[in-house]
Amino acid sequence: MFQSSRAFFTTNEHSGQSRLSEILGAFSYALDLTEGQTAGHSIRACWIGTQVAMALGLNGEELRDIYYAVLLKDLGCSANAARVSEMFAGDDRKLKHDFKLIGPQPEDFGAFVASEVGVDAQAEVREQALCNLAENGGAIMTDIMATRCSRGADIARQLRFSEDVAQAIGHLDEHWDGSGLPLGIAGADIHLGGRIALLAQVADVFYSAKGKDAAIAEIRSRAGSWFDPELCAIFEKLSAASGFWEELALDDLAEQLWELEPAAQYVTVDEDYLDDISSAFGRVIDAKSPYTAGHSERVGLIADKIAEHLGMADDRRRVLRRAAILHDVGKLGVSSAILEKPGKLDADEWQVMQSHATHTTNILGQIGVMSDMAMIAGSHHERLDGKGYPLGLDERSIALESRIITVADIFDALTTDRPYRSAMPIGKAMAILQSEAGVAVDQRCVEALQDLLAHGQLS
């Protein structure tokens, strides 16, 4: 009989504390969006990986490191999104989703390229992409994986995790037989956390797409090539036990996963840590596009300066700054083919682009300690005249914090390069904002920004 994982740990019941696993678990849904995976992929993979780690006899800090390495294995996934879209001439989210379902043989990759690359692009674009992959495919894939793994490891460090967690994330795409990327290391040289994370990832991807039998078959077929044979044997034993797949399918699996965090390693998330978490995920957001490097942090800084100028209290400003940094977290669910499009978006593309604001509200709304930020951040495209999106709010219901973020976001967007235009001079950007003051954006916020610029307080 399969024993529920909840039997292994006790739950911390201290009131007023925020569980790190719950906060980062909610953000993992944004990572799932970026990878084109079904909602909860990271949660399910973490549950599978933790079960394997416990069966292996790990506990304490070792188990906690595996837990977070698997939960956050995709921290670097946004960093290669634009390159995947460009090199494979398509929707990076679909490409990433389908790539994870191909078989382990070189001919499987060839079939993927033939069926997926540039299928919706113009003939010359598809031909160019196919030729480039034929000539440089190995180097392209190594670069794509290296970017993902190194960025993920760096962000894990920013989130205050151990070097073991960072290294495990950095080794996610290595294979037991040395055929993986980007390092080509083999066997026990691959961090145990990386070995478990890759197995758990493949198991859930095939389980979600094709069912448990397909998941078992894939793990079995890749034992000794992609995967550590010992871990495969443990997985097969666990997956054959009564209750394993039933628990994985439970609606409350996320809540059960939060209880897996070892009581001895329970982390209280204080205000400073919340700032670090917000900043780290701001980096994840900005990595989605080469045109948005530093955008989230700059919007956070500008919004904070405007709020200070308007006399907002320090504690309220701190929440505002986090919301400003995370205002575009929903863009992780938008294809880079749309984000990087140099021309005007068509009606369907524009609808997808607009959905990012709703995604932002939903993601932040899942995090108890950040739920007060959800509507603030998700309303940054609303207008005072009611013609904004996603809800069509007007001046009667748009919070001051949202108005501040809107002005900060527009100003930074106008004064930096974008796929469809070059950066504007500050004077021209402010003229546009001033022309919309009182109609689309808040007059006080625009005036505060103008004063800050006039006194050199944003340089």
- What does the alpha-carbon distance between residue 304 and residue 273 come to, in Å, rounded to a whole number? 18
Contact 360/405 with Cβ under 8 angstroms?
no
Beta bridge partners of 268: 19
- 331, 341, 344, 387: the catalytic one is 331
Contact 436/450 with Cβ under 8 angstroms?
no
Q: Which two tokens stand for residue 257?
A: 């996963």
- Phi then psi for 385, rounded to 5 degrees? -85, 5
- What's the count of helices (H) and strands (E) in the chain, helices before strands? 22, 0
Contact 289/340 with Cβ under 8 angstroms?
yes
Please provide the DSSP assignment of 211-260 as one string: -HHHHHHHHHHTBTTTB-HHHHHHHHHHHHSTTHHHHHT-TTHHHHHHTT
Amino acid identity, position 197:
A
Q: Which two tokens stand for residue 245?
A: 């797949």
Three-class DSSP category at 155? helix
From residue 172, give the alpha-carbon distance in Å to each of 3, 134, 202, 304, 449.
28, 25, 11, 37, 44
Contact 89/217 with Cβ under 8 angstroms?
no
State the helix-helix crossing angle for 314-325 and 400-414, rounded to 10 degrees.
Answer: 50
Annotation says 428 is catalytic:
no
Q: Which residues contact 80 (CB under 8 A, 6 or more apart)?
A: 144, 145, 147, 148
Residues annotated catalytic, as ranges: 331
